[in-house]
Chains A and B, each alone.
Chain A
Amino acid sequence: MNEVLRVVENEVQLVALAIFVGMYLVRLNWLRSLRSPWETAAPKASAARGVLLSFGSVFLPWTMESTRKHFAVYVEFALFHIAVAIAILASFALPYAPQLLPQPVIYVSLFFLALGVVAGLIRIRRRLVNVNLRAINTPDDYFAITVVSLWFAAALWGLGTMSDLGLTVYFGLTALLLIYVPLGKVSHYLYMPFSRFYFGYTFGRRGVTVRKSQWRYN
């Protein structure tokens, strides 16, 4: 292992991670400082069940019209995010717990990373081609998807060859993303648990997504 890779894999990662955590904590603290009005009307159904359903809907594509109609987009979403998870886990496993990456695990990871790259390319293409998406997409969107797709490709290269150069690029991109994530579009990870919680809470307690059986009519 050359010295550059060692530094990128360790010191640089740790510094980037510290910046990432620091920025997230600042953001979370800011969110915490905002008012959060809660509904006080008597609930019609269960808010807790609503929240569970809301988070569960990520894994239940048939429950949402958009994913029912565009199942291919859902598959692409799933593959993209599986690749994200693998790339994140690998960035910790490689330097600190390489025993978690035996050959079969590496092969499976490579397979999903490759699919992630394909999903990323499809996403970039769609955002460039579709006039409706172009109307709302910003340079940040294109940059984020491109960098993440490149990150998958670098992980594919690094994990597949275990070459110093491949791994250096992979860890370099990981560090870049760690710093960029809290700033740009990828920061939706931070907000998504809140938004899905509010969704489930509101629609659950109002009896929209959680219904009472007494009114079953057929």
Chain B
Amino acid sequence: MVDTIDSRPKGAVGEAAMKVLDSKLTRQMAVNMHACVHCGQCFESCHYYLATRDPKVTPAYKAEQLRKLYKRRHDWLGQLAPGWVHATQPTDEQIAALYEAAFGNCTMCRRCNLSCPMGLDMALMMRTARWMLTSQGLIPPGLKATIDTHLATGNNMGITREEFLETVDWLQEELQKELDDPDFRISVDRPGTEFLICLNPREVKFYPLLFMAQFKTCYAAGLDVGLSSAYWDATNYGLFSGDDAACKQIVTKTIDEAVRLGAKTLILTECGHGYRVYRWEAPGWYGKPMPVNVISYIELAAEQIRRGRIKVDKKRNTERVTYHDPCNQARSGGIIDEPRYILSKVVMDFQDMEPHGENNFCCGGGGGALTMSEFRDRRLAAAKVKADQIVATDAKIVATSCHNCIDQLSEIGKHYKLGVKVMNLCELVANAIVLPPKAVTVAVQEIGERPVAVDADGFIEDTSLWSPEAAVFLARRQGFGDVLERLTPDQWRVVDFTRAYYGRFGVPPMRETVCAELQLSKRQFGTLFPGTLKTLYRTAGLSREVVHKVAAE
């Protein structure tokens, strides 16, 4: 950093950085610059300060490093009597102090934002400061390398398409074994994929179990998910360098890829900042209405569990679990209750940290801190607050849903000898999932050229083999005697309508719909197809999965 400043004429870096500040000056930013009353209420909200008690790491002090520069340029008193309000020119020394504050002593976790009586947004100020510096080449090398790699290769670890596809193949085989389903496929680049999953490159490279856990969840929920082999990286470290152009480039490629594949929804893996980027910040960078929905894996899993589409058994996770809220996902993303809802369903013993939720302390690995090896010592020192929080819960497992948090929490665990296991939420979910029993073929009838097989519930196993002859076979098997022995024209009318409806809407019609459309009373319907609606669905050749999905809803 010092080399970069020294290589330029004295004060040149600062002057150029100030031009960047001027270009980034919004109303919100100006308000943040003027409204601080220096009351000190933010001090104890900061993990850096709590761990060190150093006056130079309080949120207000860090913000002052930027305000001093701003005031000299935009504040009346700062221009008239700079010393009166500590306004200063952008000297090399002041730029160095800003670098320390913005990159070395702040993770942009926004916790102080909640404690500020004025509601000032430190993350906005620090991100602006970071961009002022980054634009002048003052950026931690690790952070720069991560962004450059992403821009050059499409993902932040430089994983090639071949490597990616190889990993997907391997994990597909693993999942086929785990799910006991040789037909299981991970769709890659398939047009029409409804849900497109964005992964963290670390899941592809180092944590395949997390990759598998997420696909297992989607499989259990019966969702049509897939991947892009070109733009699948959920991360965007431009958020941490303040580089909006890089952010825009990255999100645009991913969103355009989703559009190309016809996806309706992007599922963001358990990546704190990735979720925030795509859910909340991307629309601003994308510059036009978002053509896809964005949800987190956490939201998806919580919703599927709540709707009963995924069966879980909490007895499979018996150890005490606590949960660390990733700042970008909770405080800046609003995902606070969903992970707790999931944990209430998938683990036996859950103990929240205090404080938690929107007031949770940053683990210390936020804001791209893990890429900045030069600040490792202070990152770990500041993590003492988190270590104490974990110890107080007496938990054996710390769950979280962010890869930066996972890495930092693992490092904290070793550094402070906590003796805890760190897990992503998806691992706990996957472990608790109870897959429905496999369909067992109980009857086979030769109809036409190929045998039609029926499972234990009486549903056709391969729906493509359905034919009018197969319908009669399926109807007769249901044990309603003469009623379904030979299908009458009225029964055919119902069957045809059901198949047409399913073909059009992707879901089978409910009884009320059939009756309304075909002008049947419920009694007449019951006479045509006795028993439950399944009698009709079986006859119409709908699959067991489709019917079970409807039942769950």
Contact = CB atoms under 8 A, between A and B. Distances in A.
Interface stretch (A2-10, A14-22, A61-69, A167-175): A61-69
Contact of A139 (B36, B84, B290, B340): B84
Contact of B35 (A45, A130, A195): A195
A138 B85 contact: yes
A41 B41 contact: no
A192 B11 CA distance: 34
B77 A64 contact: no
A32 B28 CA distance: 11
Given A35-B26, A64-B114, A208 B31 contact: no
B389 interface: no
A88 interface: no
Interface stretch (A100-108, A157-165, A183-191): A183-191
Contacts of B118: 188, 191-192, 195-196
B137 interface: no
A191 B344 contact: no
A64 B41 CA distance: 10
Interface residues on B, range: 35 or more
A128 interface: no
**Chain B's interface: helix, strand, loop or mixed, by majority?**
helix
Interface of chain A: mostly helix, strand, loop or mixed: helix
Contacts of B120: 195, 199
A136 B60 contact: yes
Interface in B445-463: none
A132 interface: yes
A66 to B, nearest CB: 4
9 contacts: A35-B25, A40-B283, A67-B117, A134-B55, A140-B84, A185-B38, A192-B118, A211-B336, A216-B341
Contact of B113 (A134, A199, A215): A199
Interface string B40-84: 111111000100000110101100100000000000110000011
Nearest to A215: B337
B32 interface: yes
B27 A58 contact: no
Given A35-B26, A206-B332, 15 more contacts: A32-B27, A39-B283, A39-B284, A42-B290, A66-B41, A132-B61, A141-B38, A185-B37, A195-B120, A206-B280, A215-B338, A216-B337, A217-B340, A217-B341, A218-B344
A39 B45 contact: no
B61 A136 contact: yes
Task: Give 6 nearest A-B pairs by CB, closest first.
Answer: A199-B119, A207-B334, A215-B337, A191-B35, A66-B115, A66-B41
A117 B216 CA distance: 65
Contacts of A66: 41-42, 44-45, 115-117
A182 B76 CA distance: 9
B284 A198 contact: no
Given A31-B31, A195-B31, A198-B121, A211 B337 contact: yes
B168 interface: no
B406 interface: no
A94 interface: no
Contact of B117 (A40, A77, A131, A215): A77
A206 B113 CA distance: 15
Contacts of B116: 66
A134 B115 CA distance: 20
Interface of A: 31-32, 34-37, 39-42, 44-45, 54, 58, 64-67, 69-70, 73, 77, 127, 130-141, 143, 182-185, 187-188, 190-192, 194-196, 198-200, 202-203, 206-209, 211-212, 214-218
B302 interface: yes
A95 B34 CA distance: 33
Contacts of A212: 337
A81 B279 CA distance: 40
A199 B27 CA distance: 13
Contacts of A196: 118-119
A61 to B, nearest CB: 10
B134 interface: no
A87 B39 CA distance: 22
Contact of A35 (B27, B32, B121, B341): B27
Interface in B99-148: 113-121
Interface centre among B85, B281, B334, B343, by most chain A C-beta atoms within 10 angstroms, is: B334
B286 to A, nearest CB: 9
Contacts of A77: 39, 117
A208 B330 contact: yes
A141 B40 CA distance: 12
A202 B340 CA distance: 23
B384 interface: no
A41 B332 CA distance: 13
Contacts of A214: 306
